[in-house]
Structure 1
Amino acid sequence: MGTTGNPDRLTVTADQVRRLVAGQFPQWAHLPVTRVDRPGWDNQTFRLGPGMLVRLPSAAGYAGAVEKEQRWLPLLAPQLPLPVPVPLGHGRPGAGYPFGWSVYRWLDGRTALAAEPADPVRFAAHVAGFLDALGRVDPTGGPQPGQHNWFRGGPLGFYDEQTRRALHDLTGRLDTARAAALWQEALDAPWDGVDRWFHGDVAPGNLLLRDGELGAVIDFGTCGVGDPSCDLAIAWTVFRGQARRVFREALGVDDATWARGAGWALWKALITFDESPGSGRVVEEILSRR
């Protein structure tokens, strides 16, 4: 088993997956295994026959999400308005692979990275509707923010040092004074302390489109209960103009929650400014926020 880029990140082969499946789920051993076109970063993903997939964490830091998804997705799925992944099998280490892993039913669709929604405003409303339904699920006993989800749903202050370091490094390349003021506004925005379920990574790659409409939501590796403002980052990373307004109105969030959501988007955009061309646009969208 090799590594790519990050020396701690594993490369899993289709042959390994075949051996894992054959050894632990012999009823599926006859099914072909093929790597998906976009296998992801946190997890390596393979098709298992025509109707299933195998999802394996690519590093130790992502492995904690397996137990969480195995426990909670079967409880969340019946209460949500769109399909989400539901585990069909819980794999264990083996065949040279060191972590737990999961088998899921395959959900048809193209990610919002690979295809455009038919109507961006309607798409924004549907994303908001899904998040609203998720936030209404009983959070009792749910996973609190922690290393399993990189502290999504926790206080923004966890990323204060990292954000301010990025602001320092970006001096002269953007309006860092304005960005610092908006970051401080996000840090100061109060949260009511009521735990709510959140997805944690509402991004185009985790939103499946069917016939141009939102058809499913995938990858709950960073989900948990806590402050759901982290899920608002998509308002600046993806939505613009009327779509952003409709997204906010559909969720009915107050000014403080909106400010914290902008903070989550700003943090991520700043730390990826040099690596991701889209981050500059996101920063400008947030800086123009009134």
Structure 2
Amino acid sequence: MPDKPSAEVAIDAPLIRRLLAAQAEGPIPGAQAMALAKVAEGWDSEVWRLGDDYAVRLPRRALAAPLVRHEQAVLAGIAARLTPLGVRVPAPVVHGVAGDGYPWAWSVVPWIHGERALDVDVAHRTSWAPLLAQVLGRLHTPAPADHPLNPFRGNPLSTRTDAVEGRARDLRSRGTLDAASLTALLGVWRAGVAATPWQAPPVWIHGDLHPGNLVARDGTLAGVIDFGDVTAGDPAYDLAVAWLAFDAAGRRRFIEAATGYDDDVWVRARAWAAAVALMLLAHSDDNPDYFALGRDAAAEVRSDTRA
């Protein structure tokens, strides 16, 4: 099990206030004096809430630095397509650059009010499953040749077989999943590998779509966040959310509303859901929410009689 990487730069409130004073006062007057509090620290970035309506997103290691630049480059266009549906994305308000002792690009983005869909009972997500399908229909449009590249997301499934099967062996040796479950999940994965691959031009994909990156409010979908893995390729990677975010009822409504995808896309999407479930189970020992997501997604993949 890999440990969470150490931060390669010290991020604290004084540093952020210096960055805000130097670079954010034009777009957000008074930004450096607003209330500031750290709200999240992942493997790649830290997020600090700024006042009531903004957040500061800063990479904590060099490997993640390009992710913020990708968001800065593409999110305005994506927001223009999704906002008419009433679903917000964190398109940067401030395109921060290195300075004041901080070495990489950083952003100030809108704070999207609501709660993680991960914290919403799965049965209550069904009502907005068709809206998420509409969102993906608007997102999955042809991307330009210079789109951000991602070696892990949106590529042919066959490129990830070694990693998927290695995680399965590891989980079996640790006793995390029983042999029957692992055999079933690997069967789903191999069916996806055998399906006809994506043959159309690459389309924009979120690249990390699961209920931890969906924001719900007042019983509907309010936002899609964390586009650090944004890239282009096979939309099946995003469509795996059908098994990651929904139960059978929600998944049925999602798939019915997600028009324009052929049967092979859904076979590949279910395979990606199996792969993500295995990844979460293998790498979330220190995060019970995501371990539970992996466990539940594995069960949804196995129990789906439609696919």
Question: Structure 1 length as normaliser, TM-score?
Answer: 0.87
Does residue 233 of the first structure (1) align with residue 211 of the second (2)? no
Does residue 283 of the first structure (1) align with residue 289 of the second (2)? no
Matches within 5 A, 1:15-164: 15-26=14-25, 27-28=29-30, 30-80=32-82, 81=85, 82-116=87-121, 119-136=124-141, 138-141=142-145, 143-147=147-151, 151-164=152-165
Residues 271, 88 of structure 1: alpha-carbon distance in 2 compared, 3 angstrom cutoff: closer
Distance (whole Å) between structure 2 residues aligned to residue 228 and residue 5 of structure 1: 29
Deviation at 1:116, TM superposition (A): 4.5
Distance (whole Å) between structure 1 residues aligned to residue 299 and residue 119 of structure 2: 24
Corresponding position of 2:228 = 221
Equivalent in 275, 280, 289 of residue 272 of structure 1: 280
Residue pair 2:89, 2:225 contacting (<8 A) in 1 also: yes
Residues 261, 11 of structure 1: alpha-carbon distance in 2 compared, 3 angstrom cutoff: farther
Deviation at 1:235, TM superposition (A): 1.4
Corresponding position of 1:166 = 167
Unaligned ranges ≥5, structure 2: 286-290
| C-alpha distance after superposition, 1:140-178 (max 9, x if no partner) | 34525425xxx2111122221111112223347232333
Distance (whole Å) between structure 1 residues aligned to residue 303 and residue 30 of structure 2: 53
Deviation at 1:107, TM superposition (A): 2.3
Corresponding position of 2:288 = none
Partner of 1:102, secondary structure, is strand
Corresponding position of 1:186 = 192
Q: Tell me the amino acid that sits aligned with residue 182 of structure 1.
A: V
Distance (whole Å) between structure 1 residues aligned to residue 123 and residue 189 of structure 2: 34
Partner of 1:7, secondary structure, is coil
Distance (whole Å) between structure 1 residues aligned to residue 195 and residue 123 of structure 2: 35
Distance (whole Å) between structure 2 residues aligned to residue 144 and residue 47 of structure 1: 27
258-267 or 117-126: bigger deviation: 117-126
Number of aligned residue pairs: give it: 283
Residue pair 2:5, 2:43 contacting (<8 A) in 1 also: no
Distance (whole Å) between structure 2 residues aligned to residue 50 and residue 170 of structure 1: 42
Residues 161, 8 of structure 1: alpha-carbon distance in 2 compared, 3 angstrom cutoff: farther
Distance (whole Å) between structure 2 residues aligned to residue 180 and residue 210 of structure 1: 36
Equivalent in 250, 253, 262 of residue 254 of structure 1: 262
Does residue 209 of the first structure (1) align with residue 223 of the second (2)? no
Distance (whole Å) between structure 2 residues aligned to residue 126 and residue 174 of structure 1: 37
Unaligned ranges ≥5, structure 1: none
Partner of 2:168, secondary structure, is helix
Corresponding position of 2:11 = 12
Distance (whole Å) between structure 2 residues aligned to residue 140 and residue 5 of structure 1: 34
Distance (whole Å) between structure 2 residues aligned to residue 286 and residue 115 of structure 1: 20
Deviation at 1:55, TM superposition (A): 0.7
Distance (whole Å) between structure 2 residues aligned to residue 225 and residue 199 of structure 1: 8
Distance (whole Å) between structure 1 residues aligned to residue 170 and residue 48 of structure 2: 39
Q: Tell me the amino acid that sits aligned with residue 272 of structure 2.
A: W
Distance (whole Å) between structure 1 residues aligned to residue 113 and residue 122 of structure 2: 15
Deviation at 1:96, TM superposition (A): 3.1
- Matched residues, percent identical? 35
166-175 or 231-240: bigger deviation: 166-175
Distance (whole Å) between structure 2 residues aligned to residue 216 and residue 278 of structure 1: 19
| C-alpha distance after superposition, 1:98-153 (max 9, x if no partner) | 211011222222221344488432221111111111114x4234525425xxx211
Question: Structure 2 length as normaliser, TM-score?
Answer: 0.83
Residues 229, 96 of structure 1: alpha-carbon distance in 2 compared, 3 angstrom cutoff: same
